[in-house]
Structure 1
Amino acid sequence: MSGQSILNQPLLNKGSAFTKRERELFNLCSLLPYQVNTLEEQTNRLQEQYNQLKRPIIKNAFMQNIHDQNETLFYNFILRNLKDILPIIYTPTEGEYIASYSHVFHRPRGVYLNFTESDQLEHVLLEAALQNGMAPKDIDVIVVTDSEEILGIGDQGVGGVAISVTKLVLYTALAGINPARTLPVVLDVGTNNQKLLDDPLYLGWRHERIRGDEYDTFVEQFVDCVRTNFKNAFLHWEDFGVDNARRLLTRYQPAMSTFNDDIQGTGAITLASIMAALKLTDGSMTDQKIVIFGSGTAGIGIADQIRAYLETRCNLSKEEAAKRFWCVDKPGLLTQDLTEGDYVITDQQRVYAHSKGEIKDWKLGNDKQHPQLLDVVKNVKPTVLIGCSTVHGAFTEEIVRAMAEHCDHPIIFPLSNPTRLHEAKPADLFEWTQGKVFVATGSPFDPVEYDGQTYEIAECNNSFVFPGIGLGCIVGRTKHCTDQMIFAAANAISECSPSTKSKDRTKSLLPDINDARHVSAKVATAVVREAIKQGESRRQFEDVQKVVQEFMWEPKYAEYELMQ
């Protein structure tokens, strides 16, 4: 390569940072202004430009433009401004971009696998790896989505490719995965979003979503291609619908190193947050009564992860562990005999459905004669309340006060995002519980002032967990991603909790986002050690921590030489 072709490659482009010698070697002298900048000087210029922008969505577009020009500069800027920029490039702003994807589209990024062109699937995937100058065996991580359940905004069709891209940005920024060794993928299997189907500018396949055997065959074709050609890749599933997410994970988990962030990532970070709270109160996980409001992919994923922890680490049976959960969805409490309109309990939800006999003596306060969230809280007297409903304000003052009456330190996590969909404001939770509450949220919130104290609010964000788990599986070249490895990750995060380290409950339950790379290294180290212990790692290391640190890519410019 030389001249403009190098400047057009974001993984290679250094812009004004090309040295005089490099400019001469690669015919760049006429294409760049005279001055040679350092990466730090470039980042300062970028900061000045960024600071002039006001609207989050405009900042998001600006960052995408930099991503498409110069990846080293892009990641250096992110790491300098991690706390401020994460809400811009990820939730909540990314959801706004995805929803308008076909209208703001400028240039493609990612791999588009179209159902109608399934005969080209393998060719397209292999070509995508080669575009980054990588052989398929060199790809470390693939993030794939079918876009059915995106970031609290639902079915977004082909626009979901942006979530695959963004997740890989976080793998690089927060866990040091080399961006050249990543592959973002969208499976375009149609959409049931009528707004998209009616939109003349929609870029995806205008067809209702493929279901059943056709869908399964297409996904299987994709997975077979990954297993055959991308032998070292960690496969990350993202934002699949409730009917497919758990089913696909269960099907392919025994065959490869794979992970579903909405199920396992959300479950792991929620588990880590609960563990941190219990370390402050000397509480036991087996004593918790957990109510989950919103029993879709994320809610049931959280229940599954905590239940598996109770089984493997606390020696409870599956039935005993499941009885600790009370799952509520649109019709109310999930019960074995529940029938309401078109609502059908899934097999995954049924694990947590209680019998009618268990609730026959409950006092109900609604006209439907079926327990709603307030009824569940009053009768169960939970210690943990988790929201994954995307129902704004669902945790009302009456519900929260009812919980606090019977619990010394209620653990309340309104996890729905983006921010406009949260179940409760942290400030209200402190007010309604007289400051007794432990809070973690799905989106960032400012600290809360209550009774002369300032309480930091933990953002229960998967960004703390999936990059480190992926890094650990990649470094260890693990055969699978097991529950025990995920529990090791959750425990590593809880040990990094500022509140537990300082024994100060005004501190956050989770680490500061600026420490994310440090936390990812800790998580990855714990994952590799557990993988070695289980015989899941294809590699053996004496100093795991050192190997993990050395593996992590840093956004620094390399020196270029002419090939001989």
Structure 2
Amino acid sequence: MERQTERFMEDYRQPREMIPPEDSRLGGVTSEMARRWKLLQLLQDRNETLFYSILMRNFEEMAPILYTPTVGWVCVNYHKLYRRPRGMFFSAADSGNMAAMAHNWPQSDVHAIVVTDGSRILGLGDLGLNGLGIPIGKLDLYCAAGGFSPSHVLPAVVDVGTDNEALRSDPLYAGLRSPRLRGAEYYRVMDEFVEAVMSRWPRAVLQFEDFSAAHAEPLLQRYRDHHTVFNDDIQGTAATALAGLYGALRVMGLPPSALAQQRVVMVGAGSAGTGVMRMIAAAMVKHGLSPEAAASRFWVLDRRGLVTTKRPELTDHIRPFARREEELDGMGLMDVVNRMECTAQQAVEWTGGRAIFAGGSPQEPVAPPGGGPPRPFAQANNMYLFPGIALGAFLGRTGHISDAMLVEAAEALPDMLTEEELGQGLVYPSLRGIRAISAAVALAVCTAADREDRLGGPAAEALEGRGGPAALLNFIVRSMYWPDYKSLVPLPRGVEE
């Protein structure tokens, strides 16, 4: 109580000093965006139904306020913004008690869990327990875009310490004040967490979010064959990039199968870039190439130039995509610059307006070199896919999220482009139709699961009945949460009877 009293009196006497929204690390967040985030939080605390109704009607405008980039400002200041608990806090100090904690959670039927360990929050590094802001924001999008009920989702953080000295020394920081666990001790804590939540809610989709590169891929491989888990930073990013390529093919009037004839230059050979390459290669294999032929369509560049077989430290994931030295005789190679992301303006200028472009961050419209109205450009954003992927996996009771399901989801997204958007050269559809997009993506996931003999429950019954895919799509839409005032509140059996 003393700490709570001290905290209140500090706020009472003067505003709390925070990292300002305009900090250059936060990627364009403004004070106005921070003000709107606070206003939305007040509404959510007061009237959750109205909050989601407004968010759904204004999704394209409000998604950047509730998630990236504004959520970065929220996370760096989370220990100062905290007012009431949302989500569940697990820590290494809870070892041996996590199953009891999960069974004490009041919701008996959780459909989706997003968890982080706070080790790599956006581009901001180790934020420890403050990283909980990411699962909270992500699940707001699950509800608004994917139709998950807000009463059936669980944001969670697993606190294994932090190497952020500034946070450890801050009296308001609520996490463990110890360095991060590593090695076997780290995986022991994560194993207990996964076992605890998946034993309580075995049908739930568990998404790993913003884990460091050292742990993201190992955790995914550790659990994906046993539970319905996926990592949006690896798999969601890869599927979104693949969807952009399919969208570009549609802009050019080509079928999805034409992907197998494309050459791909990949700038960056880290974990995200590797995941993108593997996903595109898997799609090429789907369209008829052998794995070796698909790998030969890639040219991979990193800060040291073209990745070749002469590199002494090639990982198993990169080795299939490395070029053989004998292929390069007589070829001149460009140096790779430090900051390699190409802007829409550069793409238009360098190609004389021919480029089909989408960027990882919002881009202003650019006038073509020959004159004419400025062209808009789409943003490659994971929120196109992850709500629908999770929805399809949950409703389809797939028990596993395979690469084939992700490829199918990516191929479904360009079908949502309108003729007007295709005429503008856009490779992603407008987020204004995010509910319809998520339903189509969920249908694609269920269809792929059926081919793998993984589809179960009412989704399988709908698909196998006389209605086929149309009946399954209808089932998906009817299963979505729609915010509305209800005159009756159902109680679970045994509650207040």
Q: TM-score, normalised by structure 1?
A: 0.74
Inter-partner Cα distance in structure 2 for 1:277 and 1:526: 19
In 2, Cα distance between equivalents of 1:443 and 1:363: 31
How far does residue 93 in structure 1 lie from its aligned partner after superposition? 1.1
Match of 2:52 in 1: 75
Farther off after superposition, 324-333 or 513-522:
324-333
Deviations 1:535-564 (A, max 9, x none): 111222131011001100011111146966
The aligned counterpart of 2:209 is 238
Q: Which residue of 2 aligns with 1:398?
A: none
**Aligned mates of 2:324, 2:413 — CA distance in 1:** 36
1:172 matched residue in structure 2: 143
Correspondent of 1:57 among 34, 38, 43: 34
Q: Return the offset for 1:336.
A: 4.6
* Counterpart residue identity of residue 496, structure 1: M
Q: How far apart are the structure 1 equivalents of 2:189 and 2:251?
A: 48
Q: Which residue in the other structure is 1:464 paired with?
A: 384
1:425 aligned partner, one-letter code: T
The residue aligned with 1:34 is none
Which of residues 292, 308, 317 in structure 2 aligns to 1:348? 317
* 1:509 alignment partner in structure 2: 427
Contact 2:203/2:399 (CA < 8 Å) preserved in 1?
A: no
Cα distance in 1, alignment partners of residues 412 and 198 from structure 2: 30
SS at match of 2:89: strand
Question: What secondary structure is seen at the aligned counterpart in 1 of 2:86?
Answer: coil
Percent identity, please: 36
Q: 1:440 aligns with which of 349, 358, 362?
A: 358
2:387 touches 2:438 (CA, 8 Å); kept in 1? yes
The offset of 1:166, in angstroms, is 1.1
Q: Structure 2: how far apart are the matches of 1:242 and 1:272?
A: 24
C-alpha displacement of 1:153 = 2.0
Determine the C-alpha separation between the residues in 2 that align with 1:246 and 1:63. 34
| Contact 2:102–2:200, Cα closer than 8 Å, also in 1 | no
Match of 2:400 in 1: 480
Preserved contact between residue 300 and residue 348 of structure 1 (Cα < 8 Å): yes
Say whether residues 1:316 and 2:244 are aligned partners: no
**CA 1:279–1:111 in 2, change beyond 3 Å: closer, same or farther?**
same
CA separation in 2, counterparts of 1:56 and 1:156?
21
CA distance in 2: counterparts of 1:560 and 1:523, whole angstroms:
32
Contact 1:91 1:443 (8 Å CA) reproduced: no
- The one of 464, 468, 474 equivalent to 1:546 is 474
**Residue among 257, 276, 284 paired with 1:302:** 276
Rounded to whole Å, the distance in 1 between the matches of 2:218 and 2:289 is 24
Q: Is the 8 A contact 1:336 1:354 kept in 2?
A: yes
Letter in 2 for 1:63: L
**1:486-525 alignment, distance < 5 Å:** 486-498=406-418, 501-502=419-420, 504-525=422-443
Superposition TM-score, scaled by structure 2 size: 0.84
Tell me, yes or no, if the aligned pair for 1:262 and 1:301 is still in contact at 8 Å: no
Distance across 1 between alignment mates of 2:267 and 2:152:
38
Question: How far does residue 357 in structure 1 lie from its aligned partner after superposition?
Answer: 4.7
2:309 & 2:129 partners in 1: Cα distance? Answer: 37
Q: Which runs of 5+ in 1 are unaligned?
A: 1-52, 366-371, 375-390, 396-422
Counterpart CA distance in 2 for 1:426 and 1:242 is 29
Match of 1:113 in 2: 90
Aligned to 1:555: 483
Contact kept in structure 2, 1:469 and 1:523, CA below 8 Å: yes
3-state DSSP class of the match of 1:235?
Answer: strand
Matching residue's letter, 1:509: V
Closer/same/farther in 2, CA of residues 107 and 293 from structure 1, 3 Å limit: farther
- One-letter code of the match for 1:148? S
Compute the RMSD of aligned alpha carbons.
Answer: 2.4
Query: Which residue identity does 1:320 align to in structure 2?
Result: A
**Superposition pairs of residues 78-477 of structure 1, within 5 angstroms:** 78-128=55-105, 130=106, 134-135=107-108, 138-282=109-253, 284-311=258-285, 313-338=286-311, 346-359=315-328, 361-364=330-333, 372-373=335-336, 394-395=339-340, 423-450=341-368, 451-477=371-397
- Per-residue CA deviations over 1:495-531 (Å, capped at 9, x if unaligned) read 1123xx4584424211111100111111111211221
Q: Which residue identity lines up with residue 393 of structure 2 in the other structure? A: C
